[in-house]
Structure 1
């Protein structure tokens, strides 16, 4: 495998009307010249075949490929390729659908097939709908990756089953494969694939030395075989893949030395140390003043204990990268630096306050419900900012939340954050599982399974339980002793109402569902949890009524007997009136 600092490839494309008077096909590509975008977003290629019977197929195909290739690289680089493409294609699909329905009386439909290929790091991602095609070639063999979304009635009759713009809801085929240097890809419309056999395509792609010449030869071959449709294709080859040796990566990460231990009065790159705020075996926090702007900031330094630990250094550098991309009033802001650094560190806004853990210890317990739910809602808003960027916090706990002097909260610490977009980038460094805290982290994390958003929901529900129960945990202190799946199977949920009698059953059921060890039972989104914490879920209310019947059967039968007694009196009274 040829090694390079970035992805390298060569390609050629054809998009012509053929013998038809108009060309309803479209192709587009975008290979970022910016090294950062090429690494974090990748190169993309798109081909579309407008549905001619829809009247506006030409406009639909051009709009789809141009928007996808132009806007894909503008999606957040913390988003995964799949999520970026799904969000973008959903927008394009809805736009085409709306345009089609503006012309319903003129039968002017904006429908098109669509096939896209995104090459990022050492993986090819593809997205497809319709009957255009994507092929992958390696070592002389050509394999079709896409599926034809057509329904065949007979040899002469078939119709397109799926297309962009056909419906509000669309089914997209998507997938990914690992790539190697020398791999080739062919994207083409049915004007090519319907008139050249798979064997002939394989032979042409295998023999391709000059991609432009091969692309033209394929077009001419399709015309010679009687092609009466538009002809479009993109032929590309991977010439080098990004790869770094561990030694190279270590050299890059350790280019900046660790700062020495700092004390008040010392200066570092124009920042004057005012006091030490926090120190542990893993990091140090200092309150500093920017001598240029007089702004008060927090400077975070790595611990000298890890100056030869590549994993630790990589994680520390990622903390700053993640923090710069999270925008929320409920998450600490990382400050983008304008001056060169001579040491490894990063800057954050100064938050006057204390950790939620410290604040909660000093409060009378349990908290008033209105205050507790206010805190939970703020934490939830901070978490949602992470999730919008394709990031999972993975270590949410009261110690990583700052309670400010004005009563607001902010989430801090990005050391365990998982980012889908980063996880797709090749790295020889293999990170450990989530570095969570047993009392608050989803057991699935600690057992090696990334439960994604549901893991953060578990932590949020655990904190909510603690605030409402007066400092207890949903599964008691035994959760901190669990090491295996068998240990977690022995845990039993402890009703919050046994610690705080004012907690109603419906609220307790919402907490229980939020910390369920069964992911199929746990909430899928933060909004679902918040909704059930703020208003009774009818299903939970029904359970509460059933529970009351079980706990006080005498009262139930007394009420039922009273109802029948009153009914009997009414019957007797009506009977007497008729006499």
Structure 2
């Protein structure tokens, strides 16, 4: 039976041993009508090893993170692109968190299925199991990725196990009445395919009851065979109705909306009145606008009317709003929802009443070192917020940084921001070249080398150097680099040669973050930010800083011992 919308039902059952603990998570999400039409419904299962103390946390965070981020991806992205990018970002986060803990890790197998229109998209990592029951045919859709070590089977290619992620992807047509079973590796050796079919078909109208029958039978078989310590979880999803045709509604996709025409002050678009033209470039137009009904002031960013439909920047423009929506930080501009449906391609951001960093420096020539370093650290926190979501900014520059009237720093331009993934480096560099290299761009962009978070670190350090000295760290412009041998001609100019008040340790920190060879910079951005806060050996330290110097510590200890000696002598 065809219908206007996809319709499905699901059921679940968990069995955990008395002394056991959850190490599996599962969920089904059927969103509201608009998201169901554009993004589909999702069903997931995760499972970790019984030897992992963080098994439950890993599974729960993976399921919740996937669902939250998948439904935040742009509407014009298909299921494959959306899920793949979300999984890679989630994998990077889990892998990073695992390196911060000493016992266990945020590692789990995962199978995720997206039901979109009349098709299903399966994404699989590790050894979780997904089966399809169609009529009398019962078929396993996933492959087991396991490694045998010391008699134990461990999942391989699991989420969070490695910095890179290899995802099994299968796309398949749906039929009304299809039933999909999600379960974990622990069920292996308990039920036969005929058992699954019989227990599900016994009363397929009640999927929760069917899951309970599967769990009870699997537990009984496990006890009979002497390995009842395993836990079991079962999730069934049934396709009740399919839409009349596959999702194909271009009018709902932002990517098919027309580019706004050139706007001037006083003109209106979708109920937004232009108050000021902030920027006109070859790639984009930026306007300060006001909602005529709510009187909210916002910033509208739209592609340039001259861009062709195949322009690489236009494709990337559709990613920018999603980037802003994913990042929650006071140091990164936030997205604003329009009060009415948009009829043109643009997105809205909060209006920051302030000035660019370049304008601030011109108006505050007497600003002290501490104030300038505070600005640099705030800017670094904005970059950290992006890096935590596996995003590269790629274009840190004084004209892209805003400072409001309270001294709050906000990263406002995400025109070159890119999702860092396994194969996206070349595309990332190409995007930056189209937007344009700046004097603060890292050398690897000009030399077509691999880029990463340390590339943003270089740009932050270069901007900080300029903020402190008004000059650039190298005489050789980055744009003029043609080959790797040109890096040998890049000689760092000490920041102290421009301002002798800069502490030597701070100069050394800048020198390291600005090393032309990316691998020699700080391993983490947090290390560079710490060096900006606490320049070891720096002059003019505060009393609290001087207290931690070894000489002061030993003098204090000696004074305390002397007082105790006098007191003990007087009490004799």
Matched residue, 2:111 = 117
Matched residue, 2:296 = 295
How far, CA to CA, are the matches of 1:41 and 1:522 in structure 2? 44
Distance 1:363 1:217, change over 3 A: closer
Question: Quick check: 1:453–1:524 contact (8 Å CA) kept in 2?
Answer: no
2:510 is the counterpart of 1:516: no
Helix, strand or coil: the match of 1:229? coil
Helix, strand or coil: the match of 1:304? coil
CA shift, 1:337, in A, is: 0.9
Helix, strand or coil: the match of 2:166? strand
CA shift, 1:440, in A, is: 1.5
Helix, strand or coil: the match of 1:529? helix
Question: Quick check: 2:379–2:410 contact (8 Å CA) kept in 1?
Answer: yes
Distance 1:213 1:14, change over 3 A: farther
CA shift, 1:253, in A, is: 4.7
2:87 is the counterpart of 1:81: yes
How far, CA to CA, are the matches of 1:451 and 1:250 in structure 2? 37
How far, CA to CA, are the matches of 1:430 and 1:457 in structure 2? 16
Matched residue, 2:170 = 180
How far, CA to CA, are the matches of 1:430 and 1:479 in structure 2? 17
Alignment of 1:395-414 (within 5 A): 395-414=395-414
Q: Deviations over 1:154-193 (max 9, x none)?
A: xxxxx8999xxxxxxxx95794323233699985445625
Distance 1:213 1:372, change over 3 A: same
Helix, strand or coil: the match of 1:323? helix
Deviates more, 1:435-444 or 1:184-193: 184-193
How far, CA to CA, are the matches of 1:464 and 1:270 in structure 2? 40
2:22 is the counterpart of 1:32: no
Question: Quick check: 1:250–1:310 contact (8 Å CA) kept in 2?
Answer: no
CA shift, 1:531, in A, is: 1.5
Matched residue, 1:192 = 188
Alignment of 1:373-412 (within 5 A): 373-412=373-412
TM-score (norm 2): 0.64
Matched residue, 1:284 = 285
Matched residue, 1:269 = 270
Deviates more, 1:65-74 or 1:448-457: 65-74
Structure 1, gaps ≥5 residues long = 1-5, 99-110, 128-132, 153-158, 163-170, 240-244, 542-579
CA shift, 1:321, in A, is: 2.5
Distance 1:445 1:224, change over 3 A: same
CA shift, 1:373, in A, is: 0.9
Matched residue, 1:419 = 419
Q: Deviations over 1:376-429 (max 9, x none)?
A: 122122222323333221111111112444544322111111235xx6999xx9
Alignment of 1:228-267 (within 5 A): 228-230=226-228, 232=232, 252-267=253-268
Matched residue, 2:487 = 488
Matched residue, 1:126 = 125
Question: Quick check: 1:302–1:316 contact (8 Å CA) kept in 2?
Answer: yes
CA shift, 1:25, in A, is: 7.7
2:331 is the counterpart of 1:330: yes
How far, CA to CA, are the matches of 2:531 and 2:275 in structure 1? 46
CA shift, 1:485, in A, is: 3.2
Matched residue, 1:227 = 225
- Aligned pair count reads 475
Distance 1:12 1:348, change over 3 A: closer
Alignment of 1:471-486 (within 5 A): 471=471, 473-486=472-485
Matched residue, 1:555 = none
CA shift, 1:124, in A, is: 3.1
TM-score (norm 1): 0.64
Question: Quick check: 1:13–1:235 contact (8 Å CA) kept in 2?
Answer: yes
Quote the RMSD (CA, aligned, Å).
5.5
How far, CA to CA, are the matches of 1:151 and 1:288 in structure 2? 65
Alignment of 1:346-357 (within 5 A): 346-357=347-358
Helix, strand or coil: the match of 2:146? coil
How far, CA to CA, are the matches of 2:305 and 2:523 in structure 1? 40
CA shift, 1:508, in A, is: 1.2
Distance 1:272 1:14, change over 3 A: closer
How far, CA to CA, are the matches of 2:268 and 2:141 in structure 1? 62
How far, CA to CA, are the matches of 2:477 and 2:517 in structure 1? 18
How far, CA to CA, are the matches of 1:266 and 1:481 in structure 2? 42
CA shift, 1:145, in A, is: 0.6
Q: Deviations over 1:497-544 (max 9, x none)?
A: 222223332211100111223333212333211221232347x99xxx
Matched residue, 1:144 = 144
Distance 1:443 1:161, change over 3 A: same
> Bigger radius of gyration, 1 or 2?
1
Alignment of 1:49-128 (within 5 A): 69=63, 72-74=66-68, 80-81=86-87, 84=90, 115-118=109-112, 124-126=123-125
Helix, strand or coil: the match of 2:44? strand
CA shift, 1:335, in A, is: 1.8
Question: Quick check: 1:40–1:425 contact (8 Å CA) kept in 2?
Answer: no
Distance 1:284 1:44, change over 3 A: same
CA shift, 1:449, in A, is: 5.0
Deviates more, 1:296-305 or 1:139-148: 139-148
Q: Deviations over 1:333-360 (max 9, x none)?
A: 3321121222222223333343222443
Question: Quick check: 1:333–1:348 contact (8 Å CA) kept in 2?
Answer: yes
Structure 2, gaps ≥5 residues long = 74-84, 115-119, 132-138, 174-179, 203-210, 240-245, 540-572
2:455 is the counterpart of 1:455: yes
